[in-house]
Amino acid sequence: MRGFKQFLLRGNVVDLAVGVVIGAAFAGLVGAIVKDLLTPLVGAIAMLPDFSGMSFTLNGSKFLYGDFFNALLAFLIAALSVYFLVVVPMNRLMARVKKTPDPTTRACPECLSEIPLQAKRCRFCTAVSA
């Protein structure tokens, strides 16, 4: 049980759990925005009251293309939101904080890890350096 406890308390597992919970809440928020705000707006422009009720029947099978349209709008809004609110700011931040090379270290020729200039052996792969 000790190993399982350590596994659960590692930062990666906790971060992933938080990400999943926030993602689920974000998906609900985006779904509500699409259903309650955007669908009526697009419906008013297209002079249709609600997309979720739009369907057609073919050989007794009912195709709800209005629900598909709502889901497509929710996906596009979520994707655009993640891109513009997470990816673009992170790329800008990473460009600003771009790591400058440390003059007291060099790259190991075998594993490319950073090792001190005076080191005779890499601490990561134990390769002998010249």
Domain harbouring 87, CATH code: 1.10.1200.120
pLDDT of residue 49: 63
Shared-domain flag, residues 87 and 128: no
- pLDDT category at 78 given cuts 50, 70, 90 is confident
Name the DSSP letter for residue 51.
S
Angle CA(97)–CA(103)–CA(106) in degrees, nearest 5? 100
For residue 8, pLDDT over 80 is answered with no
Q: Which amino acid is at 70?
A: N
Shared-domain flag, residues 76 and 119: no
Shared-domain flag, residues 23 and 84: yes
Strands 114-116 and 105-107: antiparallel
Shared-domain flag, residues 88 and 116: no
Residues of the domain holding 62: 2-98
Shared-domain flag, residues 106 and 56: no
- Taking only the tens place, the pLDDT of each residue in 89-103 is 988 888 888 777 778
The SS3 of residue 20 is: helix
Tally of domains in the chain: 2
Q: What is the spatial distance between Cα 74 and Cα 80, in angstroms, rounded to a whole number?
A: 10
Structure pTM? 0.50
Shared-domain flag, residues 60 and 111: no
Tokens 């790259």, residue located: 107
Q: Give how far the C-alpha of residue 114 lies from the chain's centroid of Cα atoms, to the nearest Å.
A: 29
DSSP-assigned letters across all residues of 58-110: ETTEEE-HHHHHHHHHHHHHHHHHHIIIIIHHHHHHHHHTPPPPPTTEEE-TT
Residue 125 structure tokens: 């792969």
Q: How many residues does the chain have?
A: 130
Shared-domain flag, residues 94 and 106: no
Shared-domain flag, residues 107 and 93: no
Shared-domain flag, residues 108 and 94: no
